Amino acid sequence: MSAGAADRTPAAADTAPRLVVFSDDFGRHPSSAQHIARCLVPRWRVDWVNTIGTRRPSLSARDLARAAGKLRDWFGSGDAPASAATPPPTGLTVHSPIHWPGFGLQLERRANAALLARGLREVLDPANPPVAVIATAPIPADLAAARPDLVWLYYCVDDLSQWPGLDGPALARLEAEFLRHVRGVIAVSEHLVARMAEFGQDAELLTHGIELQRWAGVVRRTPPVAPVRPQALFWGVADRRLDTELCLALAERCDLSFVGPADDPDPRVVQHPAITLEGPLPYAELSGRAALADVLVMPYADLPVTRAMQPLKLKEYLATGLPVVCSDLPANREWKDALDLTFDPARFAQLAEERARAPLPVEQAAARKALANETWDAKAKLFEDFVARHTGVRP
C-alpha cells in the first residue's frame, strides 16, 4: 500500500456513525482498545490510526524488525499492515500515517503534526467529521490543538510517562497539553482516575474486560507431585517492571517461563537456569500454552508505572481456572478473593508452589464467577455510553 494508506475493510453499514482511534498498531499485540473496537463494529465504523510512540529505536534485532515492519506498513503493498498479527474486523479500517518516533523537540512535534494532518486528511475531513476522535496516548496533542472543531476523548490506559524505555518527560508534556483539548476522559484504574483529577479532569472508570469463551477451554493438568518442579507461567512484556527478587525467589521453587516480547529485562532474570524467555506467541495460542502451566504469576515490582496500570492479563489468568499469584498492586486487589497477593519474595514463591500442587481453593473458584459480568461486550456498551455523554450520538 502507498505511504500512509489504509487497510480497508468495508463496513457492514456505511451509514453507521464513525469513530477515529489513535492507538498502538492494530493486531500486533492485544489491547483493551482493540477488544472494545472489535465489539463496536458493525454498529460503528472505526478508523484506527497506528501510532509509532516515543521509544527511540536502537540497533537491537527487536527494534530493527519493528522498524522494518513500520516501513512495510508505510511503503509496502498488501491487504493488511505488516505489523498486524490478526486481521481487522469488517467495519474497521487501519491507517498507518508516516510520522517520527520522537516528540521531545519542538521541531519533531511540528513535523509530526504536519505529517499526521497530511496523512489523515480524509479521515479527519471537516466536511465529513467523525463523531469523536479517541486516543489511548497523547500523541495527537498538537493535532488536537489545531483541530478544536473535533470532539477529542482520552482513553487513559497507562501512565506512559513512567513506562520503561519511553520518553517520559515528552509524554508528560504531551499529556498535559492534550488534556486541555479533550471533552472527556475515561481511565482503566482508580489510580489513573485520581491522577486525571490532578489535571482537573473528572475521569470515568472503565476496567478491562474478558473474552470468556477464549479461556473456557483451558483444562488444568494434574498438579505435579514433589520432586517434580511446578511450571509457573507469565505472559506479556518482560521488562524492567518485573521485580527481580520475586522472579529469582520463584525460580528456586518453580520453572518460570515468560511468553511475550522481551524489552531489556534484568540480566539476572534472563540468565537464571530455571527461567526461560520463550518469546512472543500468537494470542490465539495463549490458552493452549496456559494449559501446560501449573500456576500463573504476575511478579511486578512496586513502581509508579505498575501502581497505575491495570494488567489486561489479570482477568485472562483468572478465567483459565488455574491458580494465580500476583504482586499486591492496586488493580489486583479488586480480585483479592480470587487469587493470592504479596510483594514478599519468599511468600510469593511459597504460594506459587503450594497452589501449583493443590486444587484451586473453593473460595477462589467462587469469587471468579463474577467474571461473567466483565465481558468485553459489556465494557464496549459502557464505552458507548461514555461517547454518547460527550457527543449525544448513539448508533
Which tens digits make up the pLDDT trace of 38-49?
999 989 999 999
Rounded Cα gap, residues 365 and 32, in angstroms: 25
If asked whether residues 163 and 228 sit together in one domain, one would say no
- 1 domain-assigned: no
If asked whether residues 37 and 185 sit together in one domain, one would say yes
Rounded Cα gap, residues 181 and 340, in angstroms: 41
If asked whether residues 240 and 368 sit together in one domain, one would say yes
User: In this structure, what are the phi and psi dihedrals at residue 331, rounded to the nearest 5 degrees?
Assistant: -65, -25
Name the nearest CA neighbour of 190 among 159, 169, 231, 230: 159
Contact 341, 328 (CB under 8 A): yes
Mean pLDDT is lowest, of 31-35, 164-168, 304-308, 356-360, for: 164-168
Q: Buried b vs exposed e over 108-143: b needs ≥16 C-beta within 10 Å? A: bbeebbebbbebbeebbeeeebbbbbbbbbbbbbbb
Residue 52: what pLDDT? 81
- 83 domain-assigned: yes
If asked whether residues 224 and 255 sit together in one domain, one would say yes
All cell numbers assigned to 364: 477462589
- 236 domain-assigned: yes
All cell numbers assigned to 195: 491522577
All cell numbers assigned to 27: 493486531
If asked whether residues 88 and 220 sit together in one domain, one would say no
If asked whether residues 196 and 322 sit together in one domain, one would say no
- 281 domain-assigned: yes
Rounded Cα gap, residues 27 and 189, in angstroms: 24
Rounded Cα gap, residues 129 and 47, in angstroms: 12
Local structure of 297: helix, strand or coil: strand
- Whole-Å CA distances, 359 to 30, 160, 222, 365: 30, 38, 9, 10
If asked whether residues 202 and 341 sit together in one domain, one would say no
- 310 domain-assigned: yes
- What CATH number is attached to the domain comprising 38? 3.40.50.2000
If asked whether residues 203 and 258 sit together in one domain, one would say no
Residue 26: what pLDDT? 95
- 224 domain-assigned: yes
Count of domains for the chain: 2
Helices (H), the chain: 32-40, 61-75, 106-119, 141-146, 168-178, 190-197, 212-215, 244-253, 267-270, 286-290, 304-308, 313-319, 330-333, 345-356, 362-367, 376-391
User: In this structure, what are the phi and psi dihedrals at residue 66, rounded to the nearest 5 degrees?
Assistant: -65, -45
Residue 128: what pLDDT? 97
If asked whether residues 176 and 66 sit together in one domain, one would say yes
Query: pTM for the full model?
Result: 0.88
If asked whether residues 284 and 367 sit together in one domain, one would say yes
If asked whether residues 148 and 220 sit together in one domain, one would say no
What range does the domain containing 136 cover?
6-209+375-391
Q: What would the pLDDT profile of 66-117 be if each residue is shown by its tens digit?
A: 444 544 555 565 455 555 567 899 999 999 999 888 888 999 999 999 999 9
User: In this structure, what are the phi and psi dihedrals at residue 242, rounded to the nearest 5 degrees?
Assistant: -70, 145
Question: Maximum Cα–Cα distance for the chain, whole Å?
Answer: 70
- 357 domain-assigned: yes
Q: What would the pLDDT profile of 290-323 be if each residue is shown by its tens digit?
A: 999 999 999 999 999 999 999 999 999 999 999 9
The model's confidence at residue 346, banded by pLDDT at 50, 70 and 90, is: very high
If asked whether residues 173 and 102 sit together in one domain, one would say yes
- 239 domain-assigned: yes
